[in-house]
């Protein structure tokens, strides 16, 4: 058995040892009924203690890989068929997304699929309907299946999913897309939300705007929203523009599905009622940034109802670049992010981590692009 010695200080060390032995058994290098090395021999090869080896073997015994016979040793289980071993040798990568609908998620998934198929891996896709309970159930299932890796675009919950932490503790590679857990050291590939927003607000400032509003949903654990808000505030501050708190609407109650063009009319109405109050209470506002494109589209519609001329006396800027934003009246100036490339990079990183676990985590921010259309104009225009 060719073994790379492990760092005894590493967390969940026994799980790492178990994974190495599991891979060795699945390779077919040793057949059913054959005896493994002694605990002392394995401890020496891995460079770990005997208690760590015992924990690893106990894990493998529970999974059905081995039989431990007192006084005789540890043997490869005869319960695992060669067919099952072949299945386990195939690398199975899973992807969990909030929805199958919507251009953003579809393009990310397409990017993932392109790379996974190129490399000959197997990909299974799950959709949670943006429900954290369903996300937890899927991850529990993946743990039971001993998944080789998970690519996840996690739900917009108000708290972290404990199942993701459990997956992390079992040393199963995780790559997050679109947004990430700020306090969990996993790989992720996201848009550079901060820089994209900062540059877009600077564009509004160059147009002469000084009374710029912000509309975002009630804060959750979404790092994408946090980074966009931070980019907005820093752009104003760095250009010596006072932040007007009455122009900050960061508590929009919006339960709509951001991934879908078709929306529930009642939910849309509730959003417009909130936006109407905000717009009417902010007559000095000459421009407004919406933290996603769906909100921006609603602002355009509501502003017209309030008698504001969008693209003339009120500039509207969004984030996201769904195809229908170009058909709005006026067409939405917005920030585009590279969804397909995010998917490709996430898959590439996942495969790298599976094939070379020692590379560590990767954290990548991909550049965005400002798409200038008709919804923004010079403040004097």
Using CB atoms within 10 Å of the CB of residue 162, give its burial: 0 to 12 exposed, 13 to 18 middle, 19+ buried: exposed
Residue the block writes with tokens 């503790």: 169
Look at residue 101 in the predicted model and tell me its pLDDT: 67
Q: At what angle do helices 50-63 and 39-46 cross, to 10 degrees?
A: 110
The Cα 213–Cα 249 span in angstroms is 8
Closest CA to 44 of 74, 67, 17, 23: 17
Residue the block writes with tokens 């993701």: 164
Domains of the chain in sequence order: 13-84 (1.10.10.10), 91-191+340-366 (3.40.50.2300), 193-337 (3.40.50.2300)
The Cα 127–Cα 129 span in angstroms is 6
CA 18 to chain centre: 28
The two tokens of residue 241 are 């523009």
- DSSP helix/strand/coil, 246: helix
Closest CA to 145 of 84, 104, 220, 58: 84
Contact yes or no for 127/97 (Cβ under 8 A): yes
The two tokens of residue 174 are 């995780």
Q: What are phi and psi of 179, to 5 degrees?
A: -150, 170
The pLDDT tens digits along the chain (381 residues) read 444 444 444 445 777 788 888 877 776 667 777 888 888 888 877 777 888 888 888 888 887 888 888 777 888 876 555 555 554 456 889 999 988 766 788 899 999 999 998 888 888 888 888 888 999 999 998 888 888 999 999 887 677 888 899 998 888 999 999 988 888 899 999 999 999 999 999 999 999 999 999 999 977 777 889 999 999 999 999 999 999 999 999 999 988 776 665 667 888 899 999 999 999 999 999 999 999 999 999 999 999 999 999 999 999 999 998 888 999 999 999 999 999 999 999 999 999 999 888 888 999 999 999 999 999 999 865
Contact partners, residue 81, CB within 8 Å, separation at least 6: none
Please give the DSSP secondary-structure letter assigned to residue 377: -
Look at residue 262 in the predicted model and tell me its pLDDT: 63
């Amino acid at each position: 058995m060719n073994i790379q010695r492990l760092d005894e200080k590493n967390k969940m060390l026994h799980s790492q040892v178990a994974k190495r032995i599991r891979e060795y058994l699945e390779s077919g290098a040793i057949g059913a009924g054959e005896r493994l090395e002694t605990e002392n021999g394995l401890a020496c090869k891995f460079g770990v203690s005997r208690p760590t080896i015992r924990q690893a073997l106990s894990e493998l015994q529970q999974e059905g890989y081995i039989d431990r016979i007192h006084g005789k040793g540890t043997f490869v289980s005869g319960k695992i068929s060669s067919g099952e071993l072949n299945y386990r040798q195939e690398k199975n990568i899973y992807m969990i997304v909030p929805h199958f609908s919507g251009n953003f998620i579809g393009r990310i998934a397409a990017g993932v699929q392109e790379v996974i198929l190129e490399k000959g891996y197997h990909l299974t896709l799950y959709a949670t309907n943006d429900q954290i309970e369903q996300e937890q159930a899927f991850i529990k299932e993946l743990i039971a299946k001993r998944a080789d890796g998970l690519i996840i675009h996690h739900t917009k919950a108000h708290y972290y999913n404990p199942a993701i932490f459990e997956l992390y503790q079992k040393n199963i590679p995780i790559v997050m897309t679109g947004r990430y857990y700020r306090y969990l050291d996993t790989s992720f590939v996201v848009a550079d939300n901060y820089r994209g927003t900062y540059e877009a607000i600077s564009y509004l400032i160059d147009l002469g705007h000084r009374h710029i509003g912000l509309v975002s949903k009630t804060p959750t654990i979404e790092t994408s929203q946090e980074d966009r808000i931070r980019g907005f505030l820093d752009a104003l501050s760095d250009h010596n523009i006072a932040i007007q708190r009455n122009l900050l609407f960061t508590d929009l109650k919006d339960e709509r599905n951001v991934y879908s063009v078709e929306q529930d009319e009642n939910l849309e109405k509730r959003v417009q009622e909130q936006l109407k109050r905000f717009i009417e209470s902010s007559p000095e506002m000459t421009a407004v940034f919406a933290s996603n494109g769906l909100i921006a589209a609603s602002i355009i519609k509501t502003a017209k109802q309030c008698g504001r001329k969008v693209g003339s006396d009120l500039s509207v800027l969004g984030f996201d670049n769904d195809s229908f934003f170009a058909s709005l009246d006026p067409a939405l100036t917005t920030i585009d992010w590279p969804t397909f490339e995010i998917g490709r990079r996430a898959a590439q990183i996942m495969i790298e981590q599976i094939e070379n676990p020692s590379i560590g985590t990767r954290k990548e921010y991909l550049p965005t692009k400002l798409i200038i259309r008709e919804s923004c104009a010079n403040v004097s225009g």
